Amino acid sequence: MNILMLTNVYTPLVGGVTRSIQTFSQGLRERGHRVLIVAPLAKGQPDPDDEVDVIRYPAIPEFYLHKYSLPLPIPGFLMTQLADFHPDVIHSHHPFLLGQSAQRGAALWNVPLVYTHHTLYEKYIGEETEYQKRLATVVSELISAYLMVCDGVIAPSHSMAERLAGQVHCPLEVIPTGVSLEKYGSGDGAAVRRRHGIPPGAFVVGHLGRLSPEKNCPFLAEAVFTFLQRHPQARFLLVGDGESREVFEEAAERFGCSDRLHLTGLLEGQDVADAYRAMNVFAFASHSETQGMVLAEAMAAGLPVVGVDASGVRDIVKDGQNGRLLPCDNAETFAAALSGIAECDQQGRKRLIDQALETAAGFATERSVDQVEQLYETVVAARTGGEDGVLDRSLTFLEYEWNAWGAMARALGQAVFATP
């Protein structure tokens, strides 16, 4: 098959969406499919010679939060670039911007549209002000309209599938981004400890991810440093970067633990696997996950997880089996859960590790690629055979445009006239 993927976020940005696209595109290419990725121009993007089948769409780099690009509406750009590609299926990774280009392309070429709902957009918007609430209403309405025109929808977790179920009228599949069990199970943790001056026998709490407000960083910092304050030999290995980095630095200073906070910055590839293997437990506090991919990666490295009950997290962390799943944000409770794992005897720790590895096996890359491939085959087969004429394709496209503008009008109406 020829598979066209469109995304608003890709390299050099590191995150769940980028990793998902890389994982699935590589797995599908290994099976003989051609995968072409359309992503915005971005500052610091790889050299074109180093990107396999990637088209960079005209965009304003660093438009939002100094890192996200804004794709520009250039009429005909994609049609010109894709003149010789002839996709069998289009896979959109966002409902907006290039996601709309994906929808338009599916209408023009009369091919099925598959969409992965990676992000809880409402969580990122917030609901503290009336403006945020109305904006969240617009976004929710537009997402609902987008889901209505898809031929297949992917939810990265059962929690997310439950949220989408009432809005989807096509095949809805739970397909998490797969993880490489071999890669994450064979990292060199000792090398990471040596590099950061962490004693071989020290108990290490670890975290990996984007350090940004939606990840609940202030709570995580307070909980972990409360634990460190009570365990003088323990360390905190923090992998990642972002605007909330200083939250951890300030908390470490406040708790008197600055010398036991080890910041690695952004890591990629094998360095990530090595970092996981340097940890003894993985701490996670985000409420905005659709899957919590890093949790599956951590468990593939044999790490029990301490997390807070939330969408995407509860699908992976089973309380008392492969870690602790806590009911709410309570720093004392979180610190006590970390202590419980740190103080486990050898038999108890082995049980946690074994359960973590067993959980991770359910997220193997091969299994996830199988599921995506099967979904593509299903939606392609559901399309009627034969070539549509120019008139039919034009009518399909006009219907798309009418529905898209109608969805925008309804969304704005809901936001403007909703009762405060």
DSSP codes of every residue in 369-416 = HHHHHHHHHHHHHHSPSSPPPHHHHHHHHHHHHHHHHHHHHHHHHHHH
Q: In terms of domains, do 138 and 78 share one?
A: yes
- Domain boundary (361, 393, 409) is at 361
pLDDT at position 391: 43
Q: Do residues 168 and 219 share a domain?
A: no
The alpha carbon of 108 is separated from its chain's Cα centroid by a whole number of angstroms, namely 29
User: Can you point out the beta strands (E) in 309-404?
Assistant: 323-326
Are 300 and 185 in contact by the 8 Å Cβ rule? The answer is yes
Q: Work out how many domains the chain is built from and give that number.
A: 2
- Check residue 15 and give its pLDDT: 83
What is the pLDDT, as a whole number, of residue 138?
81
- Which of these three, 326, 342, 361, is where a domain ends? 361
Asked if residue 192 and residue 173 are part of one domain, the reply reads no
> Looking at 321, 339, 361, which one is the last position of a domain?
361
Q: For residue 187, with 0-12 CB atoms within 10 Å meaning exposed, 13-18 middle and 19 or more buried, which class applies?
A: buried
**What is the C-alpha separation between 130 and 199, in angstroms, rounded?**
51
Half-sphere exposure of 83 (CA within 13 A, CB side): 4
In this structure, are 389 and 289 located in the same domain? no
Are residues 382 and 413 located together in one domain of the fold? yes
pLDDT along the chain (420 residues), means of 10: 97 90 97 98 92 95 82 88 93 95 90 94 76 81 88 94 90 95 96 98 97 94 98 98 96 98 95 98 93 94 97 94 97 98 96 98 96 97 60 50 57 51
Domain containing residue 322 = 181-361
Rg (the chain; Cα; Å): 22
Q: Same domain, yes or no, for 21 and 135?
A: yes
Give the pLDDT score at 130: 82
Count the residues in the chain. Answer: 420
pTM for this predicted structure: 0.84
Specify the amino acid at residue 417. Answer: F
Handedness of CA 382, 29, 291, 316 (dihedral sign): positive
Does residue 322 contact residue 354 with C-beta atoms inside 8 Å?
no
Burial class (CB in 10 A: 0-12, 13-18, 19+), 198: buried
Confirm if 132 and 125 have CB atoms less than 8 A apart. yes
- Residue 231 sits at φ, ψ, to 5 deg, of -130, 90
CATH code for the domain in which residue 111 is found = 3.40.50.2000
Query: In the sheet where 281-284 sits, what is the strand order?
Result: 261-265, 235-239, 204-208, 281-284, 305-308, 323-326
Same domain? For 166 and 259 the reply is: no
Residues 17 and 150 in one domain: yes
Locus of tokens 């030999």: 233
Q: Tell me how crowded residue 318 is: count the other CB atoms within 10 A of its CB.
A: 15
